[in-house]
Amino acid sequence: MTNNAYLKPGAFIDSDHPAVRAFALAHVKGDTERERAVSLYYAVRDGIRYDPFLNFTDIETYRASSVLARGVGFCVGKSALYAACVRAVGIPARVGFADVKNHLTTPRLRERMGSDMFIYHGFAELLLEGKWVKATPVFNRELCQRFRVKPLEFDGRSDSIFHPFDEDDRRHMEYIKFRGTFADVPAERIMRDFQEYYPSGYSQGDETEKETFG
């Protein structure tokens, strides 16, 4: 697949949406592509609140412009927004997915999901300085500080993926299986697999759970 596929707008990585372009242009900084990518990483990571209790049957949950409008998203939506922002400033980007085991899943979230496995954990990949690097602009800094989880930093050169341990050396995230990379979010596939994998109703949003960490 040519790099053009990772530069043009998608249905969910809608980098041509006026609000997405405005957000990207308002927050981008730096003279190089790497510097610009890093500045947008932090704008999305800390400017959009992470919430694992959204309505995953709502297809807008997966769309970059909708995540921006709502000011809240989960891993897939925030990664789509980041990919859209960097595409808007001319940097090739795509989204990738992995199944991860969260060893610090709260009892509420485990009960709702029926599992401590997160399928289709989303992240972004950017083509910078001739190579693809992973970036995970998911857990905002305030949330990490509250739950003593190490915030994910990104320098544009090394992969930014979940830490295996938290600030207290408790086991945190474990990558189980990678599901590949995509030019756009395969939202319908994710929604279908969520419904099959989480029969306990995890796909239904709950606005009362805002303080629960994923």
Q: Rounded to 5, what percent of the chain is helix, strand, coil?
A: 35, 20, 45
Q: What is the pLDDT of residue 93?
A: 98
Pairing of strands 49-50, 72-73: parallel
Across the chain, which distance is largest between two alpha carbons, in Å?
A: 48
Rounded Cα–Cα distance for residues 198 and 134 (Å): 27
Q: Is the pLDDT of residue 209 over 60?
A: no
pLDDT top residue among 1 and 69: 69
Is residue 13 within 8 Å of residue 64, measured between CB atoms?
A: yes
Q: Is the pLDDT of residue 13 over 90?
A: yes
One-letter amino acid identity for 94?
R
Q: Is the pLDDT of residue 131 over 90?
A: yes
Q: What is the pLDDT of residue 212?
A: 43
One-letter amino acid identity for 58?
D
Q: What is the pLDDT of residue 102?
A: 74
Could you read off the pLDDT of 44-83 as tens digits, one per residue?
Answer: 999 999 988 889 999 999 999 999 999 999 999 999 999 9
Is residue 72 within 8 Å of residue 47, measured between CB atoms?
A: no
Q: What is the pLDDT of residue 206?
A: 47
Is the Cα torsion angle 76, 98, 104, 140 positive or negative in sign? negative
Rounded Cα–Cα distance for residues 59 and 150 (Å): 30
Whole-model pTM: value is 0.88
> Best-predicted range by mean pLDDT among 30-39, 97-106, 160-169?
30-39
The answer as to CATH 3.10.620 being correct for domain 3-197 is yes
Block residue for tokens 């969910």:
12
Q: What average pLDDT does the chain have?
A: 86
Region for residue 63 given its phi and psi (left: phi exceeds 0; alpha: psi -120 to 50; beta: otherwise): beta
Q: Is the pLDDT of residue 198 over 70?
A: yes
Is residue 55 within 8 Å of residue 149, measured between CB atoms?
A: no
- The token pair that represents 85 in the structure block: 């922002």
DSSP letter for 48, please. S
Give the least confident one: 48-52, 121-125, 172-176.
Answer: 172-176
Query: Which among 180, 17, 36 has a CA at the least distance from the CA of 9?
Result: 17
Rounded Cα–Cα distance for residues 51 and 214 (Å): 8
Rounded Cα–Cα distance for residues 67 and 60 (Å): 8
Share of the chain above pLDDT 70, in %: 78
Q: Is the pLDDT of residue 171 over 90?
A: no
pLDDT top residue among 102 and 98: 98
